[in-house]
Chain A
Amino acid sequence: MKLSNEKPGFIMILASLLVMAITVYVLFDNQHQNREKLAQEQGLGLARLMSSISWSQLSTGPGQMSLLELFRQGQSNPDFAYGVIVDVNAQVQSEVTARGIIVPVASLPAEPLSWLNQRIVEGLDGHSKFIESHAPLFQNGELRGFVRLGYIKPQLDFSYAQMPFIATLTLPIFLLTPLFYFFLRQEMKPLRKINESIDKLTKGQLAQSVELTPSSEMSQFMERFNQFIDFTQARMQQLNAEQSDLVTSGKLLSYKNSKVESILQTMPEAILVIDKAGVVSYANQKIHSLLGLDPVDVINKKPHEWCKTAEVINILSGSHNKGAAITISSAAISSDQSGQDKKLDVRTYPLFAPTDDSKLLGRLVVIRDITEQHFEQQRQGEFVAQIAHELKTPLNVLSMYSESLLDDELVSEKHRIEAANVIHDEVERLSSLIQNLLSITKYELGGLLIERQRVRILDFLQDVFDNLIKSDRVKGVRFEIDLPREMSALFIDKALMRIAINNLMTNAIKYNKPGGLVTLEARESEHYIDISVLDEGYGISQQDQQHIFDKFFRSEDNNIREQTGHGLGLSLTQQIVQLHQGELSVKSTLGTGSQFRIRLDKDKDSMAGN
Chain B
Amino acid sequence: MKKIMLVDDEMHVLRIMKLSLEKQGYDITTFNNGQVAFDALQQGWPDVLITDIQMPRMTGEELCKNIELKYPERSFLIIVLTSRTEIEHREWSAKINNLQFLEKPVSMRNLISKLADYFAQH
Given known contacts A389-B83, A389-B84, A396 and B105 CB-to-CB distance under 8 angstroms: yes
Given known contacts A556-B56, A561-B56, A562-B56, A403 and B13 CB-to-CB distance under 8 angstroms: no
Residue in B19, B23, B32, B104 whose CB lies within 8 Å of A396: B104
| CB closest chain-B residue, reference A415 | B19
Q: Does B57 contact A (CB under 8 A)?
A: yes
Q: Does A331 contact B (CB under 8 A)?
A: no
| CB closest chain-A residue, reference B109 | A403
Tell me the bound Cα distance from A539 to B88 in angstroms: 35
Interface residue ranges of B70-122 to A (CB < 8 Å):
81, 83-84, 88, 104-109
* B-binding segment of A105-113, A295-303, A353-361, A404-412: A404-412
B20–A407 touching, CB < 8 Å: yes
The residues of A that contact B9 with a CB separation of less than 8 Å are 561-562
Cβ proximity bits A185-228 to B, threshold 8 Å, 1 near / 0 not? 00000000000000000000000000000000000000000000
Cβ proximity bits A377-417 to B, threshold 8 Å, 1 near / 0 not? 00000000100110111011111110110010110000100
Cβ proximity bits B14-55 to A, threshold 8 Å, 1 near / 0 not? 001101100100000000110000000000000000000011
| CB closest chain-A residue, reference B55 | A561
Distance (whole angstroms) from the CB of A313 to the closest CB of chain B: 29
B57–A395 touching, CB < 8 Å: no
The residues of A that contact B81 with a CB separation of less than 8 Å are 396
Using C-beta atoms within 8 Å of the partner chain, give the interface range for chain B.
20 to 34
Q: Does B12 contact A (CB under 8 A)?
A: yes
The residues of A that contact B107 with a CB separation of less than 8 Å are 399, 403
Tell me the bound Cα distance from A409 to B33 in angstroms: 30
Distance (whole angstroms) from the CB of A568 to the closest CB of chain B: 15
The residues of B that contact A561 with a CB separation of less than 8 Å are 9, 33, 55-57
Tell me the bound Cα distance from A353 to B113 in angstroms: 71
Tell me the bound Cα distance from A410 to B13 in angstroms: 15
Given known contacts A393-B10, A407-B20, A398 and B84 CB-to-CB distance under 8 angstroms: no
Residue in B13, B57, B88 whose CB lies within 8 Å of A400: B13
The residues of A that contact B109 with a CB separation of less than 8 Å are 403
Tell me the bound Cα distance from A404 to B19 in angstroms: 9
The residues of A that contact B56 with a CB separation of less than 8 Å are 556, 558, 560-562
Distance (whole angstroms) from the CB of B95 to the closest CB of chain A: 21
The residues of B that contact A393 with a CB separation of less than 8 Å are 10, 54, 83, 104
Tell me the bound Cα distance from A497 to B109 in angstroms: 44
Give the size of the chain A interface in residues (CB under 8 angstroms).
28
| CB closest chain-A residue, reference B32 | A562
Cβ proximity bits A255-298 to B, threshold 8 Å, 1 near / 0 not? 00000000000000000000000000000000000000000000
Given known contacts A393-B104, A558-B57, A404 and B83 CB-to-CB distance under 8 angstroms: no
The residues of A that contact B10 with a CB separation of less than 8 Å are 393, 396-397, 564
| CB closest chain-A residue, reference B103 | A392
The residues of A that contact B13 with a CB separation of less than 8 Å are 396-397, 400
The residues of B that contact A400 with a CB separation of less than 8 Å are 12-13, 16-17, 20, 105-106, 108
Residue in B12, B20, B55 whose CB lies within 8 Å of A410: B20
Distance (whole angstroms) from the CB of A427 to the closest CB of chain B: 12
Tell me the bound Cα distance from A415 to B23 in angstroms: 14
Total contacts A-B at CB 8 Å: 75
B84–A395 touching, CB < 8 Å: no
Q: Does A422 contact B (CB under 8 A)?
A: yes
Tell me the bound Cα distance from A562 to B11 in angstroms: 10
The residues of B that contact A422 with a CB separation of less than 8 Å are 12, 16
Given known contacts A558-B56, A561-B9, A401 and B20 CB-to-CB distance under 8 angstroms: no
Distance (whole angstroms) from the CB of B13 to the closest CB of chain A: 6
The residues of A that contact B106 with a CB separation of less than 8 Å are 396, 399-400
A404–B105 touching, CB < 8 Å: no
The residues of B that contact A605 with a CB separation of less than 8 Å are none
| CB closest chain-B residue, reference A561 | B56
Tell me the bound Cα distance from A422 to B12 in angstroms: 7
Tell me the bound Cα distance from A556 to B107 in angstroms: 30
The residues of A that contact B104 with a CB separation of less than 8 Å are 392-393, 395-396, 399
The listed residue with most A CB atoms (<10 A of its CB), out of B12, B20, B81, B108, is: B12
The residues of A that contact B84 with a CB separation of less than 8 Å are 385, 388-389
Q: Does A426 contact B (CB under 8 A)?
A: yes
Known: A403-B109, A560-B56, A561-B56. 14 other contacts (CB 8 A): A389-B54, A395-B105, A397-B13, A399-B105, A399-B106, A399-B107, A403-B108, A404-B16, A410-B23, A422-B16, A426-B12, A558-B57, A561-B33, A562-B56
25 residue pairs of the A-B complex, CB under 8 angstroms, read: A388-B83, A388-B84, A389-B54, A389-B83, A389-B84, A395-B104, A396-B13, A396-B83, A396-B104, A396-B105, A399-B104, A401-B12, A401-B16, A403-B109, A404-B16, A407-B23, A410-B23, A422-B12, A426-B12, A558-B33, A558-B56, A560-B56, A561-B56, A561-B57, A562-B32
Interfacial residues, chain A to chain B (CB-CB below 8 A): 385, 388-389, 391-393, 395-401, 403-404, 407, 409-410, 415, 419, 422, 426, 556, 558, 560-562, 564
